[in-house]
Structure 1
Amino acid sequence: MQFLRQVFESFRFAWQALRSNLLRTTLSLLGVTIGIFAIIAVFTLVDSLERNIRTSLSFIGDKVVYVQKWPWSFGGEYQWWKYFQRPVSTYNEFRFLSDRLETAQAIVAMDFKGRITVKRGNNSMASLIQGTTFDYNKISDVPIEQGRYFTQQEIDVARNVAIIGSDVSENLFLGQDPVGKTFKLNGLNFTVIGVQRKKGESIINVGGNPDIKCLIPFGAFAKMFHSVNPDIDIAIKGYDDDEGLLELESEIRGLLRTRRGLRPSQDDNFAINRPEAAAQAISGLFAVLTIAGWVIGGFSILIGGFGIANIMFVSVKERTNIIGIQKSLGAKNYFVLFQFLFEAVLLSLVGGLAGILLVYLLSFMKLGSLDLQLTANNIALGLGVSSVIGILSGIIPAFSAARMDPVIAIRAK
């Protein structure tokens, strides 16, 4: 109990010392404030970017591979011009894989057409049209807010039905319930069977922004837009127990090489792309940004730490006489040590809180489609770093104060 009371007294002395030298206190904590602001601002920006991008990537599916003509990244010594000689993926290849794949949960053929005008009466807008087969909702996220998803029959007979995005609904139907109503697409009437939940703006929209998208059966899309040999995307979802989708990728490669008549000595003339590769590349970029944040903020915090240490040495010198009186009256060494250590930590924490407050105010700024959010983890990190800097900056001045001889300290002027 006595120990706790003395600790509390040490804290009270530290607080009074900071209040009595307000200008010096403010100047001392500026370095820590700037340092914590730089670190937490970078972390907040990186976390917000990563959350935004990963949300966008969720729309192209989890445990999914895409069979396409072009790879998502070019690497190695493979000559770029050979990619042009590759055949495109076709609907017949989709049917071939669909009938034979044993390690796939779902397989989908899809294609896109951008900036196609859709109309209803006098209302119109440019929309992204996507034709797809039945299992698309197993491959990608299709959050239906109103209405329903396609039936197998609607896909098989290529019926003119559509699932529209929220922006399409707002622009064409002006707040009315669009389900069951029709709109014009490429001169044909399409009936709305569903409306997707609004996604909002995003930095990247892999596969297109669903808010401006019209999902229609692949057959209906092909009749309007496809030539004899269209280039389509084939998306295939693997099972959860297929670690790294190695079995699925191996089976796809074997079947497609057989289908295309490739000899063992020939390279693949198709690409098997994975969303995870994009996610890993993004994680690598964010790791670099995080390190940059630590370096930038670290220099500011280092300067702030030296500033606090300097102020603490000044405080010890100014209060040498008071330290001597306290020790002569029976104050223990730890009481004096805690008094100055608490002052350094409190000074650093105030600076850290000021830096976090600046980041919090920054989060209210509108940065395009990026929604900045200051998380509890980043707040805890800022306070933790501030506390460590306070301890490191104040430990040597506090020890020097605690080890003073009371007789010599009382005589000091």
Structure 2
Amino acid sequence: MIYFHLLLESFRFAISALRANLLRTILSLLGVTVGIFSIITVFTLVDSLEKNIRDSLNFLGDDVIRIEKFPWIFEDNYPWWKYVNRPKAEYSEYQFLKNNSKEASAVTIFAERFGVTVKHESNSLSGAIVSGIAYQHKDVFEIPVEKGRYFGLQEVEKGANVSIIGAEVANTLFPLTDPVGKEIKLRGLKFRVIGVMEKQGASVIDAPSADDFCYVPYNTFFKMYSGQGNFGVESIIALKGYPEDEGLKNLEGEITGLLRQIRGLRPREDTNFAVNRPEAFADVIGSIFSVISLAGWVIGSFSILVGGFGIANIMFVSVKERTNIIGIQKSLGAKNFFILFQFLFEAVFLSVLGGMFGLLLVYLLSFVSLGSLDLSLSFSNVILGVSVSVIIGTVSGIVPAGMASKLDPVIAIRA
């Protein structure tokens, strides 16, 4: 109860000090408000942008390794013509990996064609993406079918003319009717729509959206695009690893050995394929946003430093103004700890108050439309803002509070 009364009385002193010098307090707290607003705004923008970018890269898959001709990050001093002369991934290699891989939970092969025109009666959509996929594609990459169903195993193996379309394709070609069961035309061939995917929306980095996709069986796809030449469509083999395989090291080692085996590479011959993982993009993104976060700390620190000096100034003035009251409190038996806590609580309270106003501004900013960027104030950033405010208040108030607690009661009463 004693500590509760101590806290309550300190709160009353802080409120009375704020009311007595309202304009001075507001101007002094402005530095903390601007500082917290600057730091948390930068962190909120960084977190939201990073989340949106990572969500935009979901089409690359999670815990997935892709076997391609070209690497996502080129090696230093490696001749470019060697990349060009590498063989394409073959369907026979996909079947070999599917039958022999023990470290992969699912294996798929797919190929894509961009800028395709899709038609239904008088409606058409240019710029669609046609992707030919294997049956296990849904186990490697996410294909959220909202209406209808996924491909059957026999449909994929026999190369049936069936398709799963994205939300944008469905809305454009079938604005008033349910697309499932209807027909669309791709390169002059008729396809029966068996499924429609959930709407994904636009991404921050303008990455390929599932809304523009038309999925067809892999064998059907290559019936459409056979004879495209060396610079036509190329297949990609993708393998889904197990969660317990940290870093997918076991999977990468296994498929490297299996592919070298089926391609007949000798031990001293260079690997003629690239093993790409989405983690490469994640590492680059993380390093970029770490630099931006550091810049946010530097920018906000100057404002917080000004705010800290402002609070310290308020506390020094408060000690001078209440010296007589401090003497009376001490003469009535108040201990040094009570006086110290009283002024320190007031400094922290004022700093947190300024920080809360800064967080409120960031929260209001989150309602501003920034296009495809979804801005949101996270709970961790709120805790960070409050924590920084508490630290600034403690550092700014510790010296004035210490001076007040050490005053001689007789001298203080005479002040």
Q: What range is the shorter-chain TM-score in?
A: over 0.9
Name the structure 1 match of 2:351: 348
Within the candidate set 274, 287, 293, 1:290 is matched to 293
Q: 2: CA distance between counterparts of 1:100 and 1:233?
A: 18
Aligned residue for 1:168, secondary structure, equals: helix
Any unmatched runs of 5+ in structure 1?
A: none
Q: 2: CA distance between counterparts of 1:239 and 1:10?
A: 57
Name the structure 2 match of 1:10: 10
Question: 2:164 corresponds to which letter in structure 1?
Answer: I
Question: 2:89 corresponds to which letter in structure 1?
Answer: S
**Displacement, 1:162?**
0.8
Question: 1:296 corresponds to which letter in structure 2?
Answer: I
- Could you report, residue by residue, the CA deviation over 1:178-210 in whole angstroms, capped at 9, with x for unpaired residues? 11111222222211111111112212465x210
Question: 2:331 corresponds to which letter in structure 1?
Answer: S
Instruction: Determine if contact 1:125/1:171 at 8 Å carries over to the other structure.
Output: yes
Name the structure 2 match of 1:406: 409
- Could you report, residue by residue, the CA deviation over 1:341-363 in whole angstroms, capped at 9, with x for unpaired residues? 12211110111011111111111
Map of 1:228-377 to 2, 5 A cutoff?
Answer: 230-377=233-380
User: Which has the higher mean CA deviation after the structures are superposed, 29-38 or 249-258?
Assistant: 249-258
- Could you report, residue by residue, the CA deviation over 1:87-121 in whole angstroms, capped at 9, with x for unpaired residues? 22233332333343333222211111112111222
Name the structure 1 match of 2:24: 24
Aligned residue for 1:159, secondary structure, equals: coil
Q: 1: CA distance between counterparts of 2:250 and 2:326?
A: 74
Asked if 1:395 is matched to 2:401, the reply is no
Aligned residue for 1:387, secondary structure, equals: helix
- Could you report, residue by residue, the CA deviation over 1:237-275 in whole angstroms, capped at 9, with x for unpaired residues? 223343332232222222222333322222111100011
Aligned residue for 2:155, secondary structure, equals: helix
Aligned residue for 2:73, secondary structure, equals: coil
CA RMSD of aligned residues (A): 1.8
Q: 2: CA distance between counterparts of 1:79 and 1:318?
A: 77
Q: 2: CA distance between counterparts of 1:139 and 1:3?
A: 59
Question: 2:132 corresponds to which letter in structure 1?
Answer: G
Map of 1:74-89 to 2, 5 A cutoff?
Answer: 74-89=74-89
Q: Number of paired residues?
A: 411
**Displacement, 1:74?**
1.8
Name the structure 2 match of 1:226: 226
Q: 2: CA distance between counterparts of 1:339 and 1:99?
A: 73
Any unmatched runs of 5+ in structure 2?
A: none
Distance 1:219 1:205, change over 3 A: farther
Instruction: Determine if contact 1:10/1:342 at 8 Å carries over to the other structure.
Output: yes
- Could you report, residue by residue, the CA deviation over 1:111-152 in whole angstroms, capped at 9, with x for unpaired residues? 111121112222221211111111100010111111110001
- Could you report, residue by residue, the CA deviation over 1:287-323 in whole angstroms, capped at 9, with x for unpaired residues? 2222222222222212211221122112211222232
Asked if 1:212 is matched to 2:215, the reply is no
Name the structure 2 match of 1:203: 204
Aligned residue for 2:340, secondary structure, equals: helix
Q: Percent identity?
A: 57
Name the structure 2 match of 1:190: 191
Aligned residue for 2:240, secondary structure, equals: strand
Name the structure 2 match of 1:167: 168
TM-score, scaled relative to structure 1 = 0.94
Q: 2: CA distance between counterparts of 1:76 and 1:308?
A: 54
Aligned residue for 2:195, secondary structure, equals: strand
Name the structure 2 match of 1:176: 177
Map of 1:133-144 to 2, 5 A cutoff?
Answer: 133-144=134-145
**Displacement, 1:43?**
1.6
Q: 2: CA distance between counterparts of 1:226 and 1:357?
A: 59
Question: 1:249 corresponds to which letter in structure 2?
Answer: E
Name the structure 2 match of 1:71: 71
Q: 2: CA distance between counterparts of 1:132 and 1:395?
A: 66
- Could you report, residue by residue, the CA deviation over 1:326-381 in whole angstroms, capped at 9, with x for unpaired residues? 33343332332222212211110111011111111111112221101111111111
TM-score, scaled relative to structure 2 = 0.94
Instruction: Determine if contact 1:7/1:335 at 8 Å carries over to the other structure.
Output: no
Name the structure 2 match of 1:131: 132
Question: 2:91 corresponds to which letter in structure 1?
Answer: Y
Aligned residue for 1:269, secondary structure, equals: coil
Q: 2: CA distance between counterparts of 1:271 and 1:71?
A: 5
**Displacement, 1:46?**
1.9
Distance 1:210 1:331, change over 3 A: same
Aligned residue for 1:371, secondary structure, equals: coil
